[in-house]
């Protein structure tokens, strides 16, 4: 582990009030330290933190799958709806004067079919991953599905054909997505049980069809495991090039070194006129296994701490960058299934729950 990373972890633990970096698993033993203030300082119960429903079913949520904050709009939260191929956008989330809009339009059932995740980019765009391997338009096959690129502007975004900026193909059952740079994103490709890199390059503009010029690179094919019906989120540390992966079906948090490997064979089918290759000998390792993790799903990285939701055990876990458990929070009294997770600029956590459909905000008690 790099010395700079160690320093970051130590400073982060001091900031959140963690006296010891190792916690015992949820299924036995006593706590080894006081834990994180954000997760209740080792008490593990929802009553030890502030849990507030900030978005509800009545706001238009339908099986919410992921959440992300707009990078330049103050407290504007975007939420993908897996249940009806839509996006709910909440401005000034958590405030009395918040506003809510829901976007769905012609073509949402293709360009936003069963959205599993979204990742905000850095140039006024964002992208979504689609968790389906069904035929979504009559002229294309089932394995045509892939990530879509969109404008991150609530006045331009309609979630359908008219506002999509680009779409690339051959990653059906995509269960998570993370931003790299410009219009380049990483996708957990469930169909190939791989991580696939998609660089849209120059997009084709709203409603266009030219997908050429893109670069598509498939990593560690067959080394991950797709869990049907479960989303598996990913997060890139751009400083190190390490991609953290909620490998749900393998009950672990894995790490891909995106700077490793060598370009190999051409792959296909190439529906886009793109450059498609396999990256050979990339390094994939296991960071976390055990600690009561059953089906890790949501994943967020903030200030040297990895937050992971367990969809079926309904817990939020925190680990440092060495894989040591810092704390965990049991939300089984608040939800039947947890999904995507994100942190705001204040460091509070936002978690999607599928039943009841909501977004919960988690913060230390005042």
Residue-level pLDDT at 212: 77
Whether residue 206 has pLDDT greater than 90 = no
Which of these, 288, 330, 293, lies nearest to 305 by C-alpha position? 288
Helix (H, G, I), strand (E, B) or coil at 153: coil
pLDDT in tens, 97-126: 999 999 999 999 999 999 999 999 988 999
CA-derived radius of gyration, the chain:
19
Computed over every residue of the chain, the mean pLDDT equals: 90
Contact (CB, 8 A) for 250 and 225: yes
DSSP string across 25-81: -TTSS--SS---GGGTTTT-BGGGEEEEEEEEGGGT-SSEEEEEE-SSSTT-EEEEE
Are 101 and 88 within 8 A, CB to CB? yes
Domain ranges of the chain: 3-364
Q: Read off the pLDDT of each residue in 42-64 and give the average, rounded to a whole number.
A: 97
Over residues 311-336, mean pLDDT: 97
Distance of CA 307 to the CA centre of its chain: 11
- Rounded CA separation 44/52 (Å): 16
Q: Which superfamily does 3-364 belong to?
A: TolB, C-terminal domain (2.120.10.30)
Band of residue 209 on the pLDDT scale cut at 50, 70, 90:
confident
Looking at residue 6, what is its pLDDT? 32
Q: pLDDT tens-digit profile of 137-173?
A: 888 888 889 999 999 999 999 999 999 999 999 999 9
Check: CB of residue 67 under 8 Å from CB of residue 78. yes
Residue 300 or residue 139, greater confidence? 300
């Amino acid at each position: 582990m790099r010395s700079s990373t160690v320093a970051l972890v130590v400073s982060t633990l001091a900031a959140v009030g963690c006296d010891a970096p190792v916690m015992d698993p949820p299924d036995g033993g006593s706590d080894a330290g006081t834990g994180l203030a954000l997760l209740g300082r080792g008490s593990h119960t929802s009553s030890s933190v502030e849990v507030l429903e900030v978005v509800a079913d009545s706001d238009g949520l339908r099986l919410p799958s992921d959440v992300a904050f707009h990078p330049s709009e103050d407290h504007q939260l975007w939420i993908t709806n897996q249940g009806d191929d839509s996006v709910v956008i909440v401005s000034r989330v958590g405030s009395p004067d918040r506003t809510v809009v829901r976007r769905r339009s012609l073509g949402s059932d293709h360009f936003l079919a069963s959205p599993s995740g979204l990742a905000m980019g850095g140039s006024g765009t964002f992208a979504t991953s689609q968790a389906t391997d069904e035929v979504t338009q009559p002229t294309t096959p089932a394995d045509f599905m892939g990530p879509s690129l969109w404008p991150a502007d609530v006045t331009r975004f309609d979630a359908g054909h008219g506002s999509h900026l680009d779409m690339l193909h051959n990653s059906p059952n995509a269960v998570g997505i993370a931003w790299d740079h410009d219009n380049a994103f990483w996708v957990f490709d469930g169909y190939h049980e791989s991580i696939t890199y998609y660089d849209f390059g120059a997009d084709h503009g709203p409603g266009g069809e030219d997908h050429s010029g893109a670069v598509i690179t498939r990593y560690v094919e067959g080394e991950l495991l797709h869990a049907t019906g479960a989303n598996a989120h990913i997060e890139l540390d751009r400083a190190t090039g390490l991609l953290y992966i909620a490998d749900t079906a393998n009950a672990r948090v894995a790490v891909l070194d995106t700077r490793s490997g060598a370009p190999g064979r051409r792959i296909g089918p190439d529906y886009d006129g793109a450059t498609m290759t396999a990256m050979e000998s990339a390094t994939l390792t296991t960071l976390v296994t055990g600690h009561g993790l059953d089906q890790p799903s949501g994943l967020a990285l903030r200030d040297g701490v990895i937050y992971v939701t367990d969809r079926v055990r309904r817990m939020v876990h925190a680990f440092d960058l060495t894989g040591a458990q810092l704390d965990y929070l049991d939300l089984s009294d608040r939800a039947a299934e947890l999904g995507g997770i994100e942190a705001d600029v204040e460091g509070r956590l936002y978690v999607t729950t599928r039943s009841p459909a909501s977004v919960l905000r988690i913060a230390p008690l005042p």
